[in-house]
A = this chain, B = another copy of it.
């Protein structure tokens, strides 16, 4: 069973540089891929990271600034040329379809699959997707235009069956699923064997939140409380806090304060302004507040 993995395709802000591509990341879980944001150049990063495009069915768009979504038409067109036939879902604010549909109607009119927009309100926390493996909630953020983050939560997993005990007590195969579901077992002799004899606890379910772009915004803390991993934008350092406030972005210190108050396990900083040739200033600033912080970088794969 493939575990939860975060792939960073791009983590630069506003303008692609020789150092950073524009924002996009992909969660890989149980043989499926889930994309968050799709800046220009994402299709090329997708290819470079050797991810299988057929496994991608859902794209989540945080907000309608170009650096987070202008890679969509090219990606969709390329999937068509590569022979995709299964539907592709784009989860975004309702404006997204209004903006992109005419572009797709022109540039992607020959693609052999359907692009389906699933729209949500950016103003309230909402369950926008779930399947057997995970659920996705929006996280309303504070930016110049309506913006959401996304909370990805793996569904509760089944406990591990202890094979030897199943054999020892001669549990019929057809009852194993009931034991996985928590039931006790009654032997042919009528003895009750408690459930805990047969199972070890399930692996914990992973919870990951993507919060970009946003100003410092404490409202998100209850939503991301105790999660395993937080990706929080840190476009600037605290020295440039004036610019951060003007543009509704965060400093590295502010990202760390959010991580600390939310008691997350680990923080990944991203969405870096091109003004910092050495991004270790961002890392150091955050680590003084929240030590378990790392910097995002293109091609980074984080198994959670």
Residues of A within 8 A of B (CB): 14-18, 40-41, 43-44, 47-48, 64-67, 70-71, 73-74, 77-78, 81-82, 95, 99, 102-103, 106-108
Q: A15-B78, A17-B47 are in contact. Are A40 and B71 (CB under 8 A)?
A: yes
The CA of A288 and the CA of B20, in the complex, are separated in Å by 43
Q: Specify which of B41, B67, B82 is in contact with A41 (CB 8 Å cutoff).
A: B41
A16 & B43 in contact (Cβ 8 Å cutoff): yes
B47 & A18 in contact (Cβ 8 Å cutoff): yes
The CA of A44 and the CA of B78, in the complex, are separated in Å by 19
Seed contacts A16-B74, A41-B41; 15 additional CB < 8 Å A-B pairs: A14-B78, A15-B43, A16-B47, A16-B78, A17-B47, A18-B44, A40-B41, A40-B43, A40-B71, A65-B107, A66-B73, A67-B77, A70-B77, A95-B106, A99-B103
Taking CB atoms, residues of chain B closer than 8 Å to A74 are: 16, 40, 66-67, 70
- Give the nearest-CB partner of A77 in chain B: B66
Taking CB atoms, residues of chain B closer than 8 Å to A66 are: 73-74, 77, 107-108
- What is the CB-to-nearest-CB distance from A217 to chain B, in angstroms, rounded to a whole number? 22
A to B CB contacts below 8 Å, 12 in the list: A15-B43, A15-B81, A16-B47, A16-B74, A64-B107, A65-B107, A66-B107, A66-B108, A70-B73, A70-B77, A99-B102, A103-B103
A14 & B47 in contact (Cβ 8 Å cutoff): no
- What is the CB-to-nearest-CB distance from A56 to chain B, in angstroms, rounded to a whole number? 16
The CA of A30 and the CA of B103, in the complex, are separated in Å by 36
